[in-house]
Chain A
Amino acid sequence: MNQANDEAGCLISIRDFVYRYAPVTEGEAPVTALDGISLEIAAGEFLGITGTTGSGKSTLCLALNGLVPQATGGSIGGDVLIGDWNTKRVKVPELATRVGLVFQDPESNLVGLSVEDEIAFGPENLGVPPSEIAERIDWALALVGMSNERQRSANQLSGGQKQRVAIAAVLAMRPEVLVLDEPTAQLDPLGKVEVAAAIEAMRREFGSRLTVVMVEQDAELLAQFADRVVVLDAGGIVMQGTPHAIFARVAELERLGVAVPQLAEVAQRLNSELGTDFDFLTHDEALRALRPHLRSALDD
């Protein structure tokens, strides 16, 4: 079965996955965080996951590298497979060689060393030879645009710089899967732009050789990067499709409390007011669609 999984080009298989946190107070019922998730993620895919607070997004991230349930306790049903590794059985340190995780809080991603030591930390633990570690530091820092900061203490960095170092540190371990759990949620606009640029550079460098799962409430970022968007609600998948297909469903997403790219809202509103057929999500798409429309209105 696992072989079939690989042959289909599918790297991650989540099958009827259920997770219940142990209750915080003794005697209370356990909380169901994920309720029957089935999801296949292809090798090289950039999957975006969105949903409201408490919809299960972060829990799903933790399930991808085995922290759920190995570190969090509680009870599970179903399986999460990374290739043919079952996250129930393969231990977290081993899973970490294939699945790298960057958390939302910049402070929780770093140990507080110098930037270069932050990057070296993971590969050193994997027993990578020092000469290769040096190469990986150079490469990873260049990729995220942090080469000039390598001697600085991670504590002195801005939020956007910390998140870029965190991404570099994970990439230096050469994982097959990178999981980003709201990587820009705690950043200012400048930090968001920096991290988005680092993700863009990473996409260019790896293409389909890296599978990315990004949880985000920032719909603009999802529209920019995701091949496919999955919407979670109350621990279950309620929508999935291309960003264009998902973000065209403005009214449904609003009912769910999920953010929509502002320009997708513009397209929908124009379509209903003017009977047009706009389908843009990003700035460039909108310019391309609206320019001829405004011009033809002018020329008619």
Chain B
Amino acid sequence: MTDTPLIEIDHVSFNYDDSPPALRDVSLAIAPGEFVALTGANGSGKTTLAKHFNGLLRPSSGCVRVDGSDSAGRPISELAHTVGYVFQNPDHQIFLPSVVEEVGFGPRNLGVRGADLEERVEAALALFELSDLRARHPMLLGRGIRRRVALAASYAMRPQLLVLDEPTGGLDRHATDQLMTVLHDLVTEGRSVVLITHDMRLVGEHAERMVVINGGVLRADGPTAEVMARHDLLHDAGIRPPAVARLAAGLRDAGLPAALTVEDFVASVATLSRSRTAGQP
């Protein structure tokens, strides 16, 4: 790849105080235009790893390069130009008295002003269906709506890389689908998305690349279809492939190829049925 990676995690280990290492010698790079799923059980180290992307945590050893240069000594406010981070708990990032101020806070901090600021805020409000709630106090809104506020606030910063930690908890199907559309649009623009999630259906449907962390160690990193096929490794990491992938695996002896999505699965059953029927004399 000719592009400089947005993020390079280079042999990073990390300890919280005197605890055993939460990350052990992890290396990975994220290039522009990638949609990466970061997966693992609770406590596996995936959030710890993601917090290194924008300097929320600093490595105990190893190096993190953001936009090609070492992030050591660079403040979060500078790294925020490149990396946006949406916390698992929206209340960790919401603190202003209205939705519109909350969404404008990040871009304003990045120095965006005037019509550009207004345009970004309006676009983010519209995208996350918050325009009618602009004057409301975020803390008096439901949890699913607060999550949309947090997502809109990060989106308005237009980061090169958006990291989302379990963004779909508390979102219903409609809001989840909308969020995924937004994320794909970002990727189409050449931005990158790192999605931390337990929802393997989302991973199968949306991520091109899947990273598995277990016990602070990077266990797998590759095209989602390849990683999802490693059932033993996933089982050890506390991950269950989506229902349709497990079903396809259960029907392998009947001639079905692996599948990650409903579309894949239905297409291969249809092909198999038709080819066999067409093979008749």
Verify if A130 is at the interface (C-beta below 8 Å from B): no
Instruction: Give the interface segment out of A4-12, A63-71, A187-195, A236-244.
Output: A187-195
CB-CB < 8 A to A188: which residues of B?
41-42, 198, 238
Q: Chain B interface mostly helix, strand, loop or mixed? A: helix
Give the complex CA separation of A39 and B184 in angstroms. Answer: 42
B272 contact set on A, CB distance < 8 A: 294, 297
A262 touches B41 (CB 8 A): no
State whether A186 touches B169 (Cβ < 8 A): yes
Q: Is residue B97 contacting chain A, with contact meaning CB distance below 8 A? A: no
Name the A residues within 8 Å of B143 (CB-CB): 53
The digit string for A163-206, where 1 denotes a CB below 8 A from any CB of B, is 00000000000000000000001111111010000000000000
Evaluate contact between A259 and B173: CB separation under 8 angstroms.
Answer: yes
Contact of A283 among B171, B247, B256 (CB under 8 A): B247
With both beta carbons as reference points, the residue of chain B lying nearest to A191 in the complex is identified as B42
- Interface of chain A, main secondary structure: helix
Check: A76 CB closer than 8 A to any chain B CB: no
B169 proximity list for chain A (CB < 8 A): 185-186
Q: How far is the CB of B142 from chain A (nearest CB, A)?
A: 6
Which residues of chain A from 152 to 170 have any CB-CB distance to chain B below 8 Å in the complex? 158-159
Contact with B along A213-228 (1 / 0, CB 8 A): 0000100100000000
Residues of B close to A298: CB separation below 8 A: 254-255, 276
Please indicate the chain B residues that have their CB under 8 angstroms from the CB of A220 in the complex: 243
Within 8 Å of chain A (Cβ to Cβ): is B110?
A: no
- Whether a CB of chain B sits under 8 angstroms from the CB of A287 is yes
Instruction: Mark contacts of B245-268 with chain A using CB atoms, 8 A cut-off: 1 yes-contact digit, 0 otherwise.
Output: 011001100111000001001100
Contact A158 B256 (CB under 8 A): no
- Residues 142-165 of chain B, each 1 if its beta carbon lies under 8 Å from chain A, else 0: 111000000000000000000000
Q: Does B19 make an interface contact (CB < 8 A)?
A: no
B239 sits at the interface (CB 8 A): yes
**CB of A209 closer than 8 Å to a CB of B:** no
**A295 close to B254 (CB less than 8 A):** yes
Q: Quick check: B269 and A290 within 8 Å, CB to CB? A: yes
Q: Check A297 against B266 for contact (C-beta < 8 Å).
A: no
Interface size class of A (residues with CB under 8 A): 35 or more
Segment 258-300 of A: residues with Cβ below 8 Å from B: 258-259, 261-263, 265-266, 269-270, 273-274, 283, 286-287, 290-291, 293-295, 297-298, 300
Interface residue from A187, A258, A265, A294 paired with B262 (Cβ < 8 Å): A265
Instruction: Determine whether A54 belongs to the interface, using a CB cutoff of 8 Å to chain B.
Output: yes
Query: What 1/0 flags go to A47-86 for Cβ under 8 Å of B?
Result: 0000011100000000000000000000000000000000
Residue A1 interfacial (CB < 8 Å) = no
Query: Could you give 26 example pairs across A and B, Cβ below 8 Å?
Result: A24-B140, A25-B140, A53-B175, A158-B42, A159-B42, A186-B169, A188-B41, A189-B240, A190-B41, A190-B42, A220-B243, A257-B172, A258-B173, A259-B172, A259-B173, A266-B262, A273-B270, A274-B269, A283-B243, A286-B247, A290-B254, A294-B255, A295-B254, A297-B273, A298-B255, A298-B276
